[in-house]
Every structure is written in structure tokens, then in C-alpha cells.
Structure 1
Amino acid sequence: MDMNPDTTHDGLRGGYPPWRQRQRPAARPMLSGDMRCDVLIVGAGITGSFMAEHLSALGHRTCVLDRERPGLGSTAASTAMLLWEIDASLTELTQFYGFERAAGIYRHSLRAVAGLKKLVEACALPCGFHARTSVYLAKAGADPRELLAEHELRQRADLPGAYLDHRRLLSKFSVSREAALVSPGSAEVDPVLLSQALLARADTQGASVFAGEAVSYETAGRGVLVGLDNGHAIEAGKVVLATGYVMPDWLDMPLHTISSTWAIATPAQAPGTLWRDCALLWEAGEDYTYARTTTDNRIVIGGEDDASLTDQSARDDAMPAKTAVLLDRLAGLWPAALARADFQWSGAFGETRDGLPLIGPVPGRPNMFAAYGYGGNGITFSYMASRMIGRMMAGKNESWFQDLAVDRPMPTRS
């Protein structure tokens, strides 16, 4: 087998995130002939990595295919805040689907972060994982009663957390906003190290990672014949599409849209100048800012999402202006910060109209599964997708899986 040279990130992200300074993955071989496997995972980012680790642990002969070096595409652009709270608030999700369904989805998201934590600890994955509290801040100038109503709905759903008014928020976290919801159960991680650790574990379980691009998918007997860009093919019993926002032309998902986000990382902050508990900070509202710390005491802050700038060159052109806005927002959020950008980067990502992922069988394509549309819950939903699809392959479907179905109808507010 020939060894594939390093590839670029092909417009998946721009700039230089701090995670790239860590560990570079080994080169992957290219297929020099046709092959067979039980499961082919297309995409070796964080979703494909979770899939490879879990499905190989279940005993499937698993192959992973990616045109990029594992973990250095969209995964490297992640700010890796493992929130169980979803982009759509419980209030919004209740308006779409009713309280019982919405509350159930939130509880499954909470359990996903707990399951991910258990996996990291049980397998001693070296990935900078730290359990964190999340602080969901009222948008500047917003009516705090909206956040209080969200808190009361969460209490009804038996979700953890407390409501802090302006005075208590300022006292506990030194953040000046009208109100906040403070909740346990979230986490942070180095996304590149996590992806690499999962693939390394999958390798010990018999999984194989190859370089290459899937260019065709054909139903073949009880499986799928996947044609590669080098002329060879993989015959797989099942195929999982885990390619971020880059998906086949024939995959129709009306709920799915593409947007871009920008982020910066500061220099290491002076001892004693970071906020309490290094909590994950994020804002209510559609156009929100989010912030976390790193193991080397940097502050990572991101936001400024824009659905009109998905081309890499356009994102790169916008980088100076977006960086300036993020630095200004950091100064307003945490005046004690050394507000300078040591790293600045951007990335495109998939999201959905209702803030929920698209996970499950591909309509009209037997033996094919998809995992897309993660928005701000990328790593949380990646873990969730691996467990859901693992159960689907075993014929153990659960009723709530339909809430995240690839072909679920367009949501309407009640």
C-alpha cells in the first residue's frame, strides 16, 4: 500500500487554532486494491472517531476513510465546549415539539456528556478532558424574565441548574449580566487529541484508517459498494456518513444549513485572573458569544456566526474584523483579561432549523446511516450519534431516535 502525503484542509477551516500545536497524526495508507468490511465510516473527524471506537468495540470489522488527516479538518476548528444544553432552548424546542419530547431530548443530551466522560475516564484517553459548569448568560440588555421562564421549564424537566439574578451572578462569577443559568454536567476537551485518542483505541480493536475520497455509493446485495477516487472500491455491509458539512449531492436534508464561525485564543493569562471554576460561558440568543479556558490558561472566545460567508477565502477576508469584534466582546465580558489574539481561526459547520442533529438511516439508501447538523453541540452529538447508530445496526431502535431522524418534517412553532 502506498503512503498518502499530507493533505490540506480543503476549505473546512482557516487560520490557526491552538489545537494544531499538539500532536500530528500518523500518515495513512491508501488502498492498493479492493476490500471488504462490516462497516465503512466516511470521515475521520470527531464523529468518525467516535464511530470507529464504538463500532469496533462492538465487534464490527471497521474501516475509516478520509481525504484529510484525521482530526485536522473541521474538528480542529472546534472550540470543544461539551455542552448538554442545546442551541435551541428548552422553551424553543417545546414550541416546536411539545414539552415531553423536548425535555426527553435535553435529558438524552445530558446523558451523552456523562457517557462521554465515563468513556474518557474508563479508557484513560489523553485529551485534556475536564468536567465544567456552564454559565448561560442573558443577552446584554435582555429581559431576565425570559431566562427565569427557561429555568422553570428546566426544573419541570428535572434538569440540573440554578437561576442567578444580577446580584448573585456578579457575586459568584464577577460577570455583569442581568441573569444567568448555572448548570453542572458539561465539559471541555482538546478536540484534536480526543479524535486521535479515539482512533488509536479503535486501531487496537482492529479498525483501519485509509486515505482517500468516496466518489460513489451503490447498493450491492446486502451492503454498499463504495467507489474511491483512486479507482478501487470498498464493499461494506453498512456505511456511516460522518463528513461534517460536506455531504453527497444526493443527500437531501432540508433542515440542514451551513454557517461559519470565528474564534480566537489569547496568550496565557496571569495566575488568578480567570473566572471562577473556569466555567463554560455562553449567551442566550441566536447570535451568541461563547468562551472557555484551556489547560495552559488561555481564553478561547468564539462567535460572530455568519451564514453568508461559507467560502474559505471570504472567511479569511473577514478574519481581522471578526477578531476585533471578539476581542471587544472579551473585554466587555471579562475586563481582567489580556485581550490579545495569539491564535485566530474560522470554520464552517452544519446546523439545523431546530438546533437538533440529523442522525439515522439515509432515506432511500439501504444500509447507509448519516450523522450531521450538530451546531454548537458538535462533540456531544458526535458521541450520541455513535451510540444511536451502534444500536440501530444491532436492530435496537428506540422511539426517541425518530426525534433526530434525517427525514423528520420541518418544525413549526405551536
Structure 2
Amino acid sequence: MDLKSGYPFWAIKNGLMCAFPQLKANITCDVVVIGGGITGSLIADNLGKNGFDVVVVEQRDIAWGSSAASTALLQYEIDTHMADLARMYGEFHAVAAYKACAAAITDLRDLADELGDVDFGMRESLYFASKRSHKAELREEYDLRIKHEFDAEWLDAGGVKERFGFKAPCAILTKLAAQVDPYRMASKLLLRLAERGGRVFDRTVIHTIEPSEDKVTLQTPEGFKIQARHVVMAAGYASQKWLKQSVAKNRSSYAFITDPIEESALGPLASTMMWESARPYLYMRTTGNGRLLVGGDDDDIDIPARRDRRVDSKAKGLCKKVRKLFPDLQMRPAFSWGGTFAETKDGLPFFGEHPQYGPRVQFALAYGGNGISYSMIGADLLRANIEGRLHPLAGLFGFSRAG
């Protein structure tokens, strides 16, 4: 599955950070994690730290799929408003999902501190109304967050202009957000896992998965087998091929990144990521060395050749949108790319067993704009499932909600 187009910045910046052997023998373990991107690496790290013998299998080089194209905005704000989730599933569950995402950001900060050198940085996040007609929705969202003690601030048009320098009808300023280099974090997590006794295999394809009552047998096209007590399918957007049920829709998103810009020229963008209420939405954030990363302009294209042809024009369109907000900001795209992502109908992920396979095969589908935060939550959720414990988000993030 071709997941990216153009020149994703993380791949260029980091190069190939690590290489692992291919699987060339039959092995056994406690848990196999299929997928060596940021989702698989966070899950494998959690399991390994808690005493499981973990094997990670990746069909490409490590983190070379969608993780290399991720723009890695870490927010507790889900693409679906908390108020809308409350109408779907009840206020208790909506608040629980948002609070779990908030906790995931501080957990990711602590993990980044352990690893070091993953371009992690805490930020504020400005969610601004694209149109006057969106003001009522944002106010309802803000009021619900304040009711449940989220740290947020309401800005009217004057406040947005005074503090951030552009025109918008209103905005919600969130105090808890962050950013990271996802390729670097995934690579360092798996290098650490291997140093601690875990096993990682790249360029290794899983051809069949056969669950039984007490184990799961996986086989490569070359005939090598892995026998495990449990499997976690964390293969990103390629995971859908293992399910008969369609659980998400693949789309394409686009991004560009500039050369480093002086902090004085970036102004509030240096410390605040920004995104808008329109769908699809424009979003902006900086890197640790002052590059401006801009993304959005999503479309329904899921054909790699067509996505490839659109990268340059999409980058120009995104650049035009930023210049409309910040006409004095001197910038131009240094690298631009596109990538596949998937959306669920409600913006929530799917973590847990699927009736097609039974309890020994767990899925980790961290779909949507909160993929990395979701993966941090999912690591705990899936470990609870494997250990036979009930996780408070198992129902909301499970396949049963899909009907």
C-alpha cells in the first residue's frame, strides 16, 4: 500500500535511523505487534515495559509508512466536537474521550523525556472559527469544556486580532497541546525495545493469521511461522485488508514545511499551533528549529498516482491560505508531501478484538487527526484486554459501537 507522496520532511531530516533483520526462522513469543510505525511502537513499548515478550513485525523499513508523513499535532481536541460526541454517546463518554486524550499528551511528554531528542515541545492550540456561522458551535463547545474543567480561553474577534494578528470571528485557546517528530520517536522506541530484549523484524510480510483457542499462528510468504499468545494488528491504514467490515474511509491529506524562519517573524506561530473550524481544515505548527509546517486541504483521492500529481498544487493552495491570514509572513515550501489517512464516522479510533478473529487478535486502528494521542491511550487499553482487565474506554473505542 503506497501511503505517501512527495518528500515527507521527517524522512528527509532523519534518513533511515535504524534497520532490523528480516524474519528467517520460526519463533514464539507472548505478543506479536504487526506494524512498526508510531502506533505499533507505542504499543510494543508499553507491553515490553510490563513484562511481555514482544515481537514487532513491519513490512517496510521502520516507521516508513504513514508515520513518516504524519504532521504530528498532539491535541486533546478530537476532530469531532465534544458536544457532538455527547449527542452521539452521552456526555459522560464524550468527556471521558477528551480527558483521555488530554492525559495522553502529558504521558507522551514523559515518554519523550525518557527517550530524548525527538523534537517534542509543549504548545498552546488555537481553534478558530472559519465563518461567522460557526461561532455558535464553538461557543457551545467552549461552554462544555469549561463545565468539565478543561483549561481553555474564549477569544472574540478582537481578542484573536490583538493576540494572534489575524481576523477570525472567535476562537478557543487551549493550553494543553504538543508536537513531536513521529518518525524519530517510533525509531527510538523500537531501538530501545530491542536493547531490552524485544525482537523487531522489518521488511517482513505477514501472509496469514490463524487464531485458535490458546494461541495465534502467523506465517510469512516464505513459510516462516510465529506462534504467539496474542496479536496486535497495528498496521495503520493497511489494517483494513484484514477485516471484512469496512470501519473507516481512506482519504488523502497534504502538507508542506518551510526553511527555518526567525522567531520574531513567526510571532505567535512560534508557540501556538492553529487550526480552523472548516472541514477539511487548515492547520499550522512549527518545529523545534523554527520551520513552519502547514497541512490540510484533504480530499477523497485514494489513488497514489493521482495523489502524487496533486502535491505541488495543494502546497501552493495551502500557502495561499496562510498568506491570507498572515500577509506579512515571508515563507515558501521547502518540502511538500501528501499521505493517506483514514476517517471514522465519529472521529474515534477502534481498539480491541473483532468478532471476525476472537479475543487473541486485537486491533489498533488509531484513525483520525488524533492518531498519536489515540495510540498512547490504545497502548494501555490493549494491554488491559490482553491481561483480562476492563478498561474504561473499551466500549467507546471498541468495534461494538459501529453497530
TM-score range normalised by the length of the shorter chain: over 0.9
C-alpha spacing 1:52/1:143, structure 2 compared with 1 (3 Å): closer
Q: Report the TM-score, using the length of structure 2 for normalisation.
A: 0.95
Structure-1 residue corresponding to 2:401 = 408
The answer to whether the Cα contact below 8 Å between 1:266 and 1:338 also exists between their aligned partners in 2 is no
Structure-1 residue corresponding to 2:350 = 358
Spell out, residue by residue over 1:347-382, the C-alpha distance to the aligned partner (whole angstroms, 9 max, x if none). Answer: 001220000001111223130000114211111111
Return the letter of the residue paired with 1:408.
R
Are positions 1:391 and 2:384 aligned together?
yes
The answer to whether the Cα contact below 8 Å between 2:32 and 2:232 also exists between their aligned partners in 1 is yes
C-alpha spacing 1:248/1:274, structure 2 compared with 1 (3 Å): closer
Q: SS of 1:273's equivalent?
A: helix
Q: SS of 2:241's equivalent?
A: coil
Are positions 1:87 and 2:79 aligned together?
yes
Spell out, residue by residue over 1:143-201, the C-alpha distance to the aligned partner (whole angstroms, 9 max, x if none). Answer: 42321121001112222201100111111121321111001111001111111111122
Shift of 1:221: 4.5
Are positions 1:102 and 2:102 aligned together?
no
Output aligned runs, 1:298-317, within 5 Å. 298-307=291-300, 309-317=301-309
Shift of 1:37: 0.7
Are positions 1:127 and 2:124 aligned together?
no
Structure-1 residue corresponding to 2:290 = 297
2:127 to 136, 139, 144: 136
Q: In 1, Cα distance between the equivalents of 2:21 and 2:191?
A: 15
2:36 to 23, 40, 44: 44
Q: Quote the RMSD (CA, aligned, Å).
A: 1.5
Are positions 1:326 and 2:318 aligned together?
yes
Shift of 1:336: 2.8
Q: SS of 1:376's equivalent?
A: coil
1:210 to 198, 201, 214: 201
Q: In 1, Cα distance between the equivalents of 2:282 and 2:240?
A: 31
Shift of 1:250: 4.3
Structure-1 residue corresponding to 2:338 = 346
Large movers: runs of 4+ above 6 Å: none
The answer to whether the Cα contact below 8 Å between 1:222 and 1:237 also exists between their aligned partners in 2 is yes
Q: In 1, Cα distance between the equivalents of 2:59 and 2:277?
A: 36
Structure-2 residue corresponding to 1:5 = none
Q: In 1, Cα distance between the equivalents of 2:80 and 2:375?
A: 17
1:375 to 368, 371, 377: 368
Spell out, residue by residue over 1:22-51, the C-alpha distance to the aligned partner (whole angstroms, 9 max, x if none). Answer: 142322211222110110000000001101
Q: In 2, Cα distance between the equivalents of 1:100 and 1:52?
A: 30
Q: In 1, Cα distance between the equivalents of 2:223 and 2:325?
A: 53
The answer to whether the Cα contact below 8 Å between 2:243 and 2:356 also exists between their aligned partners in 1 is no
Q: In 1, Cα distance between the equivalents of 2:164 and 2:10?
A: 27
Shift of 1:231: 1.5
The answer to whether the Cα contact below 8 Å between 1:262 and 1:322 also exists between their aligned partners in 2 is yes
Shift of 1:248: 5.2
The answer to whether the Cα contact below 8 Å between 1:138 and 1:147 also exists between their aligned partners in 2 is yes
Q: In 2, Cα distance between the equivalents of 1:249 and 1:293?
A: 35
Q: Which runs of 5+ in 1 are unaligned?
A: 1-9
Q: Report the TM-score, using the length of structure 1 for normalisation.
A: 0.93
Q: In 1, Cα distance between the equivalents of 2:86 and 2:267?
A: 32
Aligned length: 399
Q: Which runs of 5+ in 2 are unaligned?
A: none
Identity percentage of aligned residues: 30
Spell out, residue by residue over 1:237-289, the C-alpha distance to the aligned partner (whole angstroms, 9 max, x if none). Answer: 10000011112534144441111100001122134011325211111132111
Shift of 1:346: 0.5
Structure-2 residue corresponding to 1:155 = 146
Shift of 1:17: 1.6
